Structure 1
Amino acid sequence: MKAGPKGAVDESPLSWRPRSAGSVRFARFCQRYIRVPSGTGALSPMRLRGWQRELVGSVLDVPVQPRTAGWMLPRGQGKSSLMAAWGVYELFLGGEAAVIDIVAVDERQAGIVFGIARRMCELHPDLASRVQFFKDKLVIPSRNAELVVLPAEPKRLEGLNYSLAVLDEAGVASRDSYEVLTAAQGKRVRSTLVCIGTPGPNLDDQVLLDLRNSAAEHPDDPSLVWREYSAAGFEDHPVDCRHCWKLANPALGDFLHEDAMVALLPPKIREATFRRARLCQIASDTEGKFLPAEVWADLGTGVGVPDRAEIVIALDGSFSDDTTALLVGTVSPEPHFDVLAVWERPHRKDTDYRVPVADVEDTIRQACRRWQVVEIIADPFRWTRTLQALEAEKLPVVEFPHSPARLTAATTDLYSAAVNGRMSHSGDPRLAAHVGAAVIVEDARGLRLAKRSRSRTAPKIDLAACLVMAHSRATWRATHRNRKRARSFAS
């Protein structure tokens, strides 16, 4: 996209006058003008499958267009591409001053959907010549029509006046965002809010499931339509049941490949997560524990990490008065872990306590005299000075920013290793307590460990956070041994 004023565009309408209407018209538009941006069938015309046309038809093919539509589908069904194509269709053929708002849970997800819509326009000269491309919107000046992608932040959604709005990942979107979007309706004769997504982990307060319940309770309400692809009712079937896979995944065997489903089967991810994300089953996992206590206990050996072993050190540090932890792990495809040190406020009412940063740094130095330290791992957030000081002493500091993609991969790998017995630990009760207190938080950005509550008195999970980082780097180092020398002060 070029910076500065936008050039003139072709103001003539598309030279396309189909006699069809509704979803049939949309399907023909896709085949003529939309090219698949990536993946299976990349750069070929987008040919809608029957199930995709039926979804869009639930809004476009009824006598009175509903104000709200709820669609529940598993991951991997091309939801973002379908919504981007519909947005482009409405942008070009939605009438004067058409406004299409695609709302995603965060800036990253919003960027993904917008990138798909933008690329669809770029790939066809008839579309590209009629659109002005901006950083966060597509505009057809001659009709004052625009497609805008926004993060689901309520304050950013106030005052919208859309003809079509899509709330992506409605299983994890906030209720405030949904309510602001639905309250924006009424300014146009025709406008629809489409809430689309996969069930989220919070079953007690979830927009998507509330729409599902409302549609079941009021089947004759013309203002709401509901469509779902799921294996609901077959929760007693095993997770590898192909019958359930086909029920829930209309794209299976088409642009969703079966080997990808196999690769995600438990224990690679938790069964409750697989059932929600891949089968749209409302799997109950009320405690949300990261690991069952018996699994963790079976991994204990009662033995620490031997001196002179090649190790990584993981630091999860507090900014002020919270817990700070250090964990060591052997460099191995099946690493062994032990607690190095934990600092925490001795008394709940001790408001003067602060983490002894100098002691933390000295403990790391002492560990470098005891073991062959390959990496000292930490999220640099608020501990940059310590990491810089250690690095200035030629210690092997490695930053581990807690980005969603990195944490999702590292947490999944740790879970798989634990349930398959590909790691071990010393049996330290502090580590057991922190791992036992950790729960999984899952949203559109991925999954990560979290405390059960945000209360300051909630059980700590700092050693569990260290374990995620240490396992990721220890196993990586086991296959990249020549990249960096270990550091030791031992004589």
Structure 2
Amino acid sequence: MDGIDPLIARHVPAGAAFPSEGYRVAAWIERFCYLTGSFAGQPFRLLPWQRELLIDAYRLERDGFGGWRRKHRMAVVCIARKNGKSTIAAAIMLYHLVADRADSQRQIIAAANDRNQARMVFDAAKQMVNASPKLSAVCDVQRDVIRFKDSTYRVVSADAGRQQGLNPSAVSLDEYAFSKNADLFDALTLGSAARNQPMTWVVSTAGPDPDGPFAMLCEQGERVNSGEATDPTLFYRSWGPRLGDQVDHLDPEVWRACNPSFDILNEEDFKAAAQRSTEASFRIYRLSQFVRGASTWLPHGLWDSLGVDDTLQPGEAVVLGFDGSWKGDSTGLVATRLADLRVFVLGHWEAPADDAHWRVPMVDVRDALRSALDTYTVRNLVADPYRWEETLENLEAEGFPVEAFPTNSLARMVPATQAVYDACRDGRLSHDGSPALARHIGNAVLREDKYGARITKEFAASRRKIDLAVAMILAVHGAVMWREENPGLIDAPIVATWESDGAVFTFGGSAEFFDDL
């Protein structure tokens, strides 16, 4: 750990898994900060989850010049109310005001959608300063600003107009889930580009809009944590259920799992809140769960339980499912192995959240289709022909087995959806653990009407993609149908290889063929 600031290094314990400024942040908070509210005047003693949060969020990495710097520039925390999020956010901002050595003239911002909400974190910081003899001796506390030497800590809000000209070194953005747009977030994060090691904390309870800016930020965090996306500057932590998870909101064990401070909270208060609140409100505020208006497709935990570490081998017999788009959406190519109904994602192309002009790389998609057809023994390619008619017609003309499956046909999607649900429920289906496919399945909701049940987006304009889930349904349903129509054939091809006169010959066929030989 050579090159770490000595003031940081002395707080990193021997044997630590990785160097982190969080050890120093934690030590500073416990030395100088005092609690507010019901515990006003008591020294700040971090709970285990708070200490772990700081250590993970302030992880250090090599900067390429022989030194160390913060790995993350943004920490996103989705946490239920009553867990002390405003208190810990206030203490972190005071650390940046007084003790952060990454900048000399620091500008610290407490922000929220409206001024009253923004003042909650800021007022908690003021109370901490006033309660601490050492902090009050060096900080000048005014109504809307706390000053330390040449550094300031002030409050801003979205309802005060566009916040331009800011150059924050550290920001706490409170209850972002209730913001209708990302204007304030953009102003705060883009304004810190000139800072050496800026740090933005977005700390919020989940909200009623699963397509809002905070929900999209949480989704990006989930993708980074799962390895589906790469963004080393983003740190994400949540204790609440993921979007699409089904949990019993009346179960005390669920309350405990979703509230890291549950051991110091009042369980009777949770029981009373569960009785007097609507289910949606309880899930939002006490479980920090994004609530949507429709039913999720698969029961909680079912899809995860079907994951298997496996690789699809060249030559194996499969049915392909393809759901394509051309702009602003997602395209998926999925294979289902006929031998065991195991699902593999072969290709996925999705519009980045911040690129309104993105187009599907059609050449890459066509190459992936041809590669799959050449690599595996494809019994059928089940594809939605919308906007891909020419490509599919060309493949069919070349002799490949192509089945057009319009996904807007209720007569076809309803039984297909049911067949795949039954295969999941009965444990006949398994998958390769693709995080992108899991996300798309979690985004899918079940729409039931007189025509039957099928998956769909929550609403047409939703930015939560489900195309991989649709492609999976096409592939699995196609595989189920092929197996039913060919009961006498072994699903996986048997391949015979022999050498003659220096040449290698390979032949694939059914078990019956080789038995006849």
Structure 2 contact 169–198 (Cα < 8 Å) conserved: yes
Q: Matched residues in 1 for 2:53 and 2:33: separation?
A: 18
1:108 Cα deviation (Å)? 1.4
Structure 1 contact 107–150 (Cα < 8 Å) conserved: yes
Deviations 1:153-204 (A, max 9, x none): 4735211111111111011123111122222121112112221101111222
Mark the runs of 5 or more structure 1 residues left unpaired by the alignment.
1-15, 288-491
Deviations 1:426-463 (A, max 9, x none): xxxxxxxxxxxxxxxxxxxxxxxxxxxxxxxxxxxxxx
Structure 2 contact 209–215 (Cα < 8 Å) conserved: no
Q: Matched residues in 2 for 1:137 and 1:58: separation?
A: 29
Deviations 1:347-398 (A, max 9, x none): xxxxxxxxxxxxxxxxxxxxxxxxxxxxxxxxxxxxxxxxxxxxxxxxxxxx
Match of 1:194 among 183, 201, 213: 201
Paired residues for 1:162-181 under 5 Å: 162-173=168-179, 174-181=181-188
Distance 1:31 1:216, change over 3 A: closer
Aligned equivalent of 2:284: 276
Q: Matched residues in 1 for 2:252 and 2:244: separation?
A: 12
Structure 1 contact 231–247 (Cα < 8 Å) conserved: no
Aligned equivalent of 1:231: 241
1:234 Cα deviation (Å)? 8.7
DSSP-derived class of the 2:117 partner: helix
DSSP-derived class of the 2:168 partner: coil
TM-score by length of 2: 0.49
DSSP-derived class of the 1:264 partner: helix
Aligned equivalent of 1:301: none
- For 2:128, the aligned partner's letter is M
1:32 aligns with 2:53: no
- For 1:183, the aligned partner's letter is L
1:217 Cα deviation (Å)? 3.2
Distance 1:70 1:225, change over 3 A: same
1:62 aligns with 2:64: no
Aligned equivalent of 2:123: 115
- For 1:79, the aligned partner's letter is K
Aligned equivalent of 1:438: none
DSSP-derived class of the 2:270 partner: helix
- For 2:37, the aligned partner's letter is S
Aligned equivalent of 1:47: 45
Aligned equivalent of 1:19: 10
Aligned equivalent of 1:264: 273
Aligned equivalent of 2:299: none
Q: Matched residues in 1 for 2:292 and 2:244: separation?
A: 14
1:280 Cα deviation (Å)? 2.0
1:98 aligns with 2:106: yes
Mark the runs of 5 or more structure 2 residues left unpaired by the alignment.
1-6, 13-20, 62-69, 296-517
Structure 1 contact 118–138 (Cα < 8 Å) conserved: yes
Aligned equivalent of 1:388: none
- For 1:192, the aligned partner's letter is M
DSSP-derived class of the 1:232 partner: coil
DSSP-derived class of the 1:177 partner: helix
DSSP-derived class of the 1:112 partner: helix
- For 2:206, the aligned partner's letter is P
Structure 2 contact 110–119 (Cα < 8 Å) conserved: no
Q: Matched residues in 2 for 1:224 and 1:154: separation?
A: 28
Of the structure 1 ranges 214-223 and 175-184, higher mean CA displacement relative to structure 2 is found in 214-223
1:128 aligns with 2:144: no
Q: Matched residues in 2 for 1:145 and 1:93: separation?
A: 11
RMSD of aligned Cα (Å): 2.3
- For 1:68, the aligned partner's letter is M
Distance 1:175 1:253, change over 3 A: same
- For 1:221, the aligned partner's letter is D
- For 2:191, the aligned partner's letter is A
Q: Matched residues in 1 for 2:53 and 2:133: separation?
A: 28
Deviations 1:267-318 (A, max 9, x none): x11101111211122322369xxxxxxxxxxxxxxxxxxxxxxxxxxxxxxx
Distance 1:235 1:116, change over 3 A: same
Aligned equivalent of 2:301: none
Q: How many residues align?
A: 266
Q: Matched residues in 2 for 1:236 and 1:119: separation?
A: 40
Structure 1 contact 154–180 (Cα < 8 Å) conserved: no
1:18 Cα deviation (Å)? 8.4
Deviations 1:447-486 (A, max 9, x none): xxxxxxxxxxxxxxxxxxxxxxxxxxxxxxxxxxxxxxxx
Paired residues for 1:89-488 under 5 Å: 89-95=95-101, 96-141=104-149, 144-153=150-159, 155-173=161-179, 174-204=181-211, 206-218=212-224, 219=227, 220-232=230-242, 235-254=245-264, 256-266=265-275, 268-285=276-293
DSSP-derived class of the 2:235 partner: strand
Q: Matched residues in 1 for 2:137 and 2:114: separation?
A: 30
1:74 Cα deviation (Å)? 0.6
- For 1:23, the aligned partner's letter is G
Aligned equivalent of 1:295: none
Q: Matched residues in 2 for 1:132 and 1:198: separation?
A: 31
DSSP-derived class of the 1:71 partner: strand
DSSP-derived class of the 2:138 partner: coil
- Asked which structure has the greater RCO (Cα within 8 Å, sep 6+), the reply is 1
Q: Matched residues in 2 for 1:69 and 1:35: separation?
A: 23
TM-score by length of 1: 0.51
Of the structure 1 ranges 148-157 and 51-60, higher mean CA displacement relative to structure 2 is found in 148-157
- Which structure is larger by alpha-carbon Rg, 1 or 2? 2
Q: Matched residues in 1 for 2:237 and 2:35: separation?
A: 24
